Structure 1
């Protein structure tokens, strides 16, 4: 499981875009708009971060 900080998420549309970008790269994606964090199960975190950057949502792995 990987936790990502995605500080530019702010609305339901952002959430949907992030989920759509990560869905093919993970087995499960959970977005928390309140904390602006995404929990991802499965897949390669580097590819997930690249996918988010490609749609305008820079992300960082949280410890």
Structure 2
């Protein structure tokens, strides 16, 4: 399980975009969002570096918590 902080994530549109990015890397990924704390829990086969890079390409700065 990877836990990421994504400060720019603030609405359901952001949530949908991030889910699409992660599912594009691993279609079987399980994702839990907390919009209040800007945290995402991701269970997938991709590395933290891969996830962070993919999010950054789409304008979302992310860091491991």
Do both share a fold (TM > 0.5)? Answer: yes
Give the equivalent residue in structure 1 for 2:48: 45
**Alignment partner, residue 55 of structure 1:** 58
Gaps of 5+ in 2: none
Judge conservation of contact 1:29–1:41 (CA < 8 Å) in 2: yes
Maintained 8 Å contact 1:23/1:29: no
Residue 4 of structure 1 is matched in structure 2 by 4
Q: Runs ≥4 in structure 1, deviation > 3 angstroms?
A: none
Please give the secondary structure, in 2, of the residue aligned with 1:20.
helix
Do structure 1's residue 25 and structure 2's residue 25 form an aligned pair? yes
TM-score, scaled relative to structure 1? 0.89
Q: Which runs of 5+ in 1 are unaligned?
A: none
- SS of 1:21's equivalent? helix
